[in-house]
Amino acid sequence: MLPAKPSDVGAIIESVMIGGDLSKLTPQQRTIHYRDVCRSLGLNPYTQPFAYLTLNGKLLLYAKKDASDQLRKIHNVSIKIVSRELDLDGIYTVRARATMPDGRKDEDEGAVPLPETVKGEFRSNLKMKATTKAKRRVTLSICGLAFLDEEEVKSIPGAHTDPAPSREELEGVELASELDDDDKIETGVRPTSPAAPAADPSPQAHAAGALSLEDMAREAARHGRGPLQKFFNSRTSAEKTRLRKIEAELVQLYPSDSGD
């Protein structure tokens, strides 16, 4: 894939900033954008508070349950149901009021069709759905966010949803960011002779003889992100360039129970 021209890049940035359309971004750029949005709101991206929605040719973020739950906790938002109403057209509407610690208030509604033919548990579930919609909508509203909520997304005809970036994808952009930051702050003369890997290679690697730079990096990655980072930091600029080419492969080698 050819890199975008400067004029195209400007149009892409404008599309994201003004319309929220992420469809022109590469998968890695979308993951970075996802991470940065979560960070700016104080949300944990690994809990996947947002997911993707394709609507009218645009790729957008929409808020999931975990987004509103975390926002309420972060901002100490209290919610009170102020009214419940079933109108003559069979629309059940719940109105919720959100209050911030500074006294600021906001209200919003959640509504669902509730015909008389719906009885029992199904009727109760629809009522709870309206309450959930009201609480999530008013949470996003009082926090100044214009994201659609997942309950709203479910009712949009033709809407197509995709999952949030996986943990592996998020860790991949984190590693790339750390490697770039390391290069930016690097000063002085680096050793030109190869340094030993942070983690001892496995017996199988020893038996195979001398390891290549890439194989040493793979061995370090199998011991976790920390050992790989230390190994990377010990390399020359030219070697770091080589290692970036297998970055995605290295991330996949992390131990499944690694806490790094």
Classify residue 214: in a domain, yes or no: yes
- 37 shares a domain with 157: yes
Classify residue 221: in a domain, yes or no: yes
Instruction: Give the pLDDT band (50/70/90) at residue 214.
Output: confident
Q: What is the DSSP letter of 199?
A: S
State the Rg of the chain over Cα.
Answer: 25
Classify residue 68: in a domain, yes or no: no
- 157 shares a domain with 133: no
Phi-psi region of 191 (alpha: psi -120 to 50; beta: other; left: phi over 0): beta
| 173-202 mean pLDDT | 54
- 244 shares a domain with 179: yes
Highest mean pLDDT among 1-15, 125-139, 173-187, 224-238: 125-139
- 126 shares a domain with 86: yes
- 18 shares a domain with 123: no
Q: CATH number for the domain including 137? A: 3.30.160
Contact between 18 and 52 under an 8 Å Cβ cutoff? The reply is no
| 23-39 mean pLDDT | 91
pLDDT at 191: 43
- 159 shares a domain with 135: no
Classify residue 71: in a domain, yes or no: no
- 227 shares a domain with 127: no
Q: How far apart are CA 227 and CA 198, in angstroms?
A: 5
Residue-wise pLDDT tens digits, 129-143? 999 999 999 999 999
Classify residue 67: in a domain, yes or no: no
Q: How far apart are CA 9 and CA 5, in angstroms?
A: 6
- 173 shares a domain with 114: no
pLDDT at 208: 35
pLDDT at 159: 83
Average pLDDT of every residue of the chain: 80
More confident residue, 42 or 258: 42
Classify residue 88: in a domain, yes or no: yes
| 202-228 mean pLDDT | 64
Highest mean pLDDT among 48-57, 182-191, 226-235: 48-57
Classify residue 69: in a domain, yes or no: no
pLDDT above 90 (res 8) = no
pLDDT at 79: 97
Measure the CA dihedral 150/156/161/163, to 10°. 0
Q: Which run of H or of E encompasses 121?
A: helix 120-142
- 26 shares a domain with 122: no
pLDDT above 70 (res 91) = yes
Highest mean pLDDT among 115-124, 182-191, 236-245: 115-124
Structural domains of the chain, count: 3
More confident residue, 235 or 5: 235
Q: Model's pTM, two decimal places?
A: 0.63
- 152 shares a domain with 248: no
- 101 shares a domain with 132: yes
Classify residue 95: in a domain, yes or no: yes
pLDDT at 35: 93
Q: Which range of residues forms the domain containing residue 40? A: 1-62+147-163
Contact between 23 and 30 under an 8 Å Cβ cutoff? The reply is no
- 204 shares a domain with 138: no
- The structure tokens listed for 140 are 């996003």
